[in-house]
Amino acid sequence: MLGLIVRRLLALIPLLLVVSFAVFSLTYLLPGDPATTIAGGENASPQDIQRVRKEFGFDDPLVVQYGRWLRNAAQLDFGNSQIDGKSVSSQIADKLPITLSLALAAIVIGILLGVPLGIMAGTKPGSVRDKAGVAVASVGIAVPNFWLAMILIAIFAINLGWFPALGWVKFQDDPAGWLEHVVLPAVALGIWAAASLARQLRSSLIDTLDANYVRTAWAKGSRGTRVVGKHGLKNAAIPAVTVLGLQLSTLLGGAVVIERIFSIPGLGSYLIAAITSYDIPVIQGVTVVFVLMFVVINLIVDISYGYFNPRVRVS
């Protein structure tokens, strides 16, 4: 298992270098001269442009600029925001738990709804409950999360008043208040995750339960829950775990829109505000953090393969 982890970590080094250069190049993707854009656009004075050019080192060769930025980024130092002057790293540290808690809550909802739905459909392929499960999963995948979020707000926040429509409460400050605020956005994100997980688990479970060793377990008179739980689910888990890892990455990206709808002060709202104001340090910092989270999630998925399938450790 240790060898598998080391190989995966070594394989990530060139990927991170390529991604870091792409993130650094965001500065030069802006229209026109980046120094002019940062200084205030066409109305900026030559003195301000020269000051910005010197402050950000735009006069240095590109390789030197990238090396300097990479050295700071490796220490999680992304500089200060061009809008309010606050440290980007401290702002990310404050907002990252909000986005992570929202994504994890959505994953929990996806597991609680998707796993039973996938098992229900996969253990009786072709039956009425299988067709009903596939139909429900298809609807869950097709519905856009931002549209579902607005429907949830209209029904459960405005009409019924069960949950707040906007705002956020940190878990450490008020767990009950956090739960009230996280339900609607987590459901808006988690329905898609549940539908995707249910479809993948159904397909994997149908193939696994048709294997010879499972038929042998049935022939020996093993209980249905034992056959499905011990022999079926564990061997059908690898594709489902892959989907779950990809879902968490997707949910982190989807949280950008959901946070905006529910006025949640997470990384998504922070990133959108930075994009609209051309705040380059914030855009670069948040993008790097999202990339690192995606890499860590994929690494955890790869390592989990070694648990579910020992042959992966050997290969």
Whole-model pTM: value is 0.74
CATH number at residue 102: 1.10.3720.10
Comparing CA positions, the residue from 281, 259, 105 lying closest to residue 194 is: 105
Please provide the average confidence, as pLDDT, over all residues in the chain: 77
Q: For residue 22, what are the domain limits?
A: 2-74
Question: What are residue 87's DSSP bridge partners?
Answer: 80
Whether residues 21 and 107 fall in one domain? no
Which residue did the predictor score with more confidence, 236 or 266?
Answer: 266
- Which residues, 6 or more positions from 39, have their beta carbon under 8 angstroms from its beta carbon? 45, 48, 49, 51, 52
Higher pLDDT among residues 133 and 56, named by residue: 133
Residue 101: the pLDDT is 86
Residues 115, 66 within the same domain: no
Question: Could you tell me if 160 and 245 lie in one domain?
Answer: yes
Lowest mean pLDDT among 2-6, 65-69, 227-231, 257-261: 227-231
In terms of domains, do 125 and 270 share one?
Answer: yes
Residues 163 and 230 in one domain: yes
Beta bridge partners of 80: 87
Q: Are 221 and 149 in the same domain?
A: yes
Rounded distance between C-alpha atoms, residue 278 and residue 30, angstroms: 8
Residue linked to tokens 């609807």: 139
Residue 313 counted as domain residue: no
Asked if residue 81 belongs to a domain, the reply is: no
- Average pLDDT on 82-105 reads 85
SS3 61: coil
Q: Are residues 68 and 107 in the same domain?
A: no
Q: What is the pLDDT of residue 235?
A: 65
Q: Which of 3-7, 146-150, 168-172, 250-254 has the highest mean pLDDT?
A: 146-150
- How much is the pLDDT for 314? 46
Residues 148, 258, single domain; the answer is: yes
* DSSP of 213-234: HHHHHHHTT--HHHIIIIIIIH
Let me know how long the chain is. Answer: 315
